[in-house]
Amino acid sequence: MNGIKKTGRLINTDQLRDIYYYMNSREKILAAIKKSQPAPRELPVLDFPLPDDMDAQEKFIAVLSSIGGAAHTVGSYDEIQLLINREYNDAARIISLVPEIESRGQYFEPGTNPHLLEDVDLAVIKAQFGVAENAAVWITDDMLPERVLSFITQNLAVVLHRRDILQLMHQAYERIGGRDYGFGVFIAGPSKTADIEQSLVLGAHGSRTMRIFILQS
């Protein structure tokens, strides 16, 4: 019999020849692409002048408000706690990854089943820095051991120091470039989509609200 039987099917030599041909062609194409790679070059130096008239905090707050978020300038963690108690008085479950802010209800130990986070009303986390031009905050795995928390929670609160607000994304990429992160994400405002009938929906893919507490100290 001119063929090979494998897993109950008979493969003839013509089929084997075709398989070999296409596999060999694929390897040749990949080898040619690899061989044709340009020589490594240094990245260009990009000099973006910073706006002289931009108040980074003021711009951050204005942009955040325009995309559906809210900002509070505060002087201490005690003030943040008072605001959370007032704004989320009815929240049954609050998970705070900020030691100075209290959690409420069932706490979550990182490394356990993330499905146990499905009923979180508010998550409180810290940001490494924020960007004024788009009101985005940079969150990494060292501040967020369970990455799904910032997306599955109904409401998200972020603590950000005023001194850590940058003006432009160019500065942001200069800060994070060259560093090794297991996980990192820019979050700007609450989750929103308007794909269906051009109707804006908040909370479709993440938190319904986002508050940023800007520490002045």
The domains located in the chain, with CATH, are 3-35 (no CATH), 56-215 (3.40.50.10420)
pLDDT over threshold 80, residue 200: no
Half-sphere exposure in the Cβ direction for 132 (13 Å, CA) = 18
Cβ count within 10 A of residue 215: 19
pLDDT over threshold 80, residue 16: no
Cα of first residue to Cα of last residue in the chain, in angstroms, is: 83
Average pLDDT over residues 95-123: 90
Joined tokens for residue 120? 């979180």
pLDDT at 17: 65
Residue type at 119 in one-letter notation: D
pLDDT over threshold 60, residue 187: yes
pLDDT over threshold 60, residue 9: no
pLDDT at 27: 80
Average pLDDT over residues 37-43: 83
Query: What whole-number distance in Å separates Cα of residue 198 and Cα of residue 83?
Result: 34
pLDDT band at 193 (very low <50, low <70, confident <90, very high): confident
Average pLDDT over residues 173-189: 87
Average pLDDT over residues 75-84: 97
Average pLDDT over residues 147-168: 95
pLDDT at 6: 46
3-state DSSP assignment of residue 65 = helix
pLDDT over threshold 80, residue 15: no
pLDDT at 5: 46
Exposed/middle/buried for residue 101 (C-beta within 10 Å: 0-12, 13-18, 19+): buried
Average pLDDT over residues 174-190: 88
Average pLDDT over residues 93-97: 95
3-state DSSP assignment of residue 212 = strand
Average pLDDT over residues 150-168: 95
More confident site: 51 or 132: 132
Query: What whole-number distance in Å separates Cα of residue 96 and Cα of residue 130?
Result: 19
Residue 64 has phi, psi (to 5 degrees) of -60, -40
